[in-house]
Structure 1
């Protein structure tokens, strides 16, 4: 693999970025504008009804974020806007939902690279929504890319967890159309669309409320995913999206990036920038606030996390590596740490304890929340038992002892029971990853890094070697403080 300069590759290049308001997309856009001011154009596709609405999203959800502060100090807004064209659209529609025919024609004639970051990441998203964005979205992006005469590369961001809950070493290999994880036959995207249409038709005929329709479509997604061996709607529809790309790419140069659990930035544009609450962060915040009294999971499970800026750097270097590479199969990269720099679940628990002991959360009453070692439960059954004993049985006992308050306690008991059912649903969705027994082979990514160091890639700018991460420093000095700073409520 012979690589040239990444900065030179980006020079005078026009890139279409879908899902431009997403977490990784913001870091990708900021990085390119900051390190290569001579990029020709970034078309940013935002889901919006019209250009005015798209511009409003761009100003508030992208340029209004802290991550762009360094860029704005370096460049004037007018200079940035010269490089950016905001496009109202929707990947779940043909032609990416771009209604302006003149703009669409211009995009098709100018675009050199397409980066597909559009996705819904909810584990239990409505099945019709998830299939539209995560599966049909890549097909529409691919169709667009095929019509670009100057196209050099299509890069699609997936997830490492399209593997389901496999054990052992998970290879960087593609999924063939119709390949179910459990070997079940009959997996067909057209059939999945038919199942959705039939379910919606039946619900409409029965005059179901919007709330009931949403609930039914969420349940349908989980049901269809598990029928074919995937644990949730998100990873199922992302796997189907990969299948679509592999099946219909023809000779198009295609790279698929599969990140693991993406966390706050390691270094650029500054350490610890994160948006929202990532998967493991919800546990950490709950613990720091004193609301989490137990952890569910195997302490020895490898928790595969990777800083967001490293994922973005792999994306850019992979684009350089595979540009104009026509006629071959798709190139797949796992971007994670479970092989190169593994970290056990127990260490992440310990980071939470150490951080919140030294920097306690201040509650609404102005008092510091004191944290301690928590109970670690190693099975779903033990977790359900713990919740029942800790929360339900005391209420039930109080209601029996004091009959004058029976009605009150019964109401409280019922409310708590509903909350526990809600928690158990979350555990059902996230539980497989708390006991995950797989590690992600990242040999392709390791080879890319070696080639980058050998060749002309500016590795000080486009770094992505997870072996250099000191997890203690990263979590205690950057990631946890970053999460708290941006989610303090």
Structure 2
């Protein structure tokens, strides 16, 4: 079984997961704890001032979710011991060098022990502030790559991107890596350092004018959309994710790198129980509205293929692979396609 081989690959591994309080990371951590308790260590990176604050966030924003009820019931009295033995919460920030880890002894331990790095940290707001998106979605992956390069026993760096870095192209879209400076509309001049300067100069000007925080936020959102559309991307999110891929491809050297580009990620499929989702995003809003009876009619072609992926399928990408120097895993290649009507019925 493909999932079984993925989980066996993680046995006795020390895994660093970024974005540990995010939707994807929570399901990933639950799956490992429930099905692969023989993982060596799960190092979970959370944004926090110190370890105590990070642990508090972990207990509240991760373990406190209904998602973990099944695995808690499975281990019963052994649950606390499993968490104590297998999980190590790390205070940090991917927008900083060394992922913001300040404890030198902890850094040495991470570089010595970690052999799998999974980067799930991202801001997924389509129109987030450009400065925020660039720090997290573009420069964040570079900092994760720099960190992974220092891991003495690194087996793989897995970076979660998005299928929509392709923009709004139609027809057959190849899963090919981005070259540095490549744009969707062919416009020349995309330079990440220049984008950073544009942000810094704009912020400097706004602050010199004593602009309000609200005005600065609106300006940063506006400039992000404008810069994205100038090079052919529809929004700030996919633009900054694409630039993050560019940096990874350009700077990876001999780091074993896998980039996955999932489409619309929906709820859990069967395990630990069907339908767990956090927040309402993209297609979720349609399913929720239909389920509550607020949408009784929706115009569309019932044969239309809905390009969604449940989280279980993402686990397949952690199979014991002989990683190519840079690998893009094809989305939806071996999975069943669902028509719009079937999604509505399942919802």
* Same fold per superposition (TM over 0.5): yes
Contact 2:6 2:316 in 1 (8 A): no
Contact 1:304 1:338 in 2 (8 A): no
SS in 2 for 1:170: coil
SS in 2 for 1:321: coil
Q: Does 1:14 align with 2:17?
A: no
Query: Hey, what does 1:228 align to over in structure 2?
Result: 231
Q: How far off its partner does 1:218 sit?
A: 0.6
Q: Does 1:244 align with 2:247?
A: yes
SS in 2 for 1:86: strand
Query: Hey, what does 1:423 align to over in structure 2?
Result: none
Taking the aligned partners of 1:274 and 1:66, their CA distance within structure 2 comes to 10
Contact 1:260 1:334 in 2 (8 A): no
Q: Does 1:303 align with 2:306?
A: yes
The structure where helix makes up a greater share of residues is: 1
Query: Hey, what does 1:66 align to over in structure 2?
Result: 66
Q: How far off its partner does 1:335 sit?
A: 3.0
- What TM-score, normalized by structure 2, do the two folds share? 0.92
Taking the aligned partners of 1:333 and 1:298, their CA distance within structure 2 comes to 29
Alpha carbons of structure 1 residues 40 and 190: separation in structure 2 relative to 1, 3 Å: same
Task: Please point out which of 330, 337, 340 is paired with 1:341.
Answer: 337
Question: How big is each residue's C-alpha offset from its partner over 1:391-431, in whole Å with a ceiling of 9 and x where there is no partner?
Answer: xxxxxxxxxxxxxxxxxxxxxxxxxxxxxxxxxxxxxxxxx
Query: Hey, what does 2:277 align to over in structure 1?
Result: 274
Query: Hey, what does 1:133 align to over in structure 2?
Result: 136
Alpha carbons of structure 1 residues 338 and 183: separation in structure 2 relative to 1, 3 Å: farther
Contact 1:221 1:232 in 2 (8 A): yes
SS in 2 for 1:90: coil
Please tell me whether Structure 1 or Structure 2 has the larger radius of gyration of its CA atoms. 1
- What TM-score, normalized by structure 1, do the two folds share? 0.66
Query: Hey, what does 2:34 align to over in structure 1?
Result: 34
Q: Give structure 2 stretches of 5+ with no counterpart.
A: none
Query: Hey, what does 2:163 align to over in structure 1?
Result: 160
Contact 1:222 1:231 in 2 (8 A): yes
Contact 2:164 2:263 in 1 (8 A): yes
Task: Please point out which of 182, 191, 209 is paired with 2:194.
Answer: 191
Q: Give structure 1 stretches of 5+ with no counterpart.
A: 352-471, 477-489
Q: Does 1:91 align with 2:94?
A: yes
Alpha carbons of structure 1 residues 7 and 299: separation in structure 2 relative to 1, 3 Å: closer
Taking the aligned partners of 2:213 and 2:302, their CA distance within structure 1 comes to 41
Q: Does 1:105 align with 2:108?
A: yes
Q: How far off its partner does 1:285 sit?
A: 3.5
Contact 1:139 1:244 in 2 (8 A): yes
* C-alpha RMSD of the superposition: 2.3
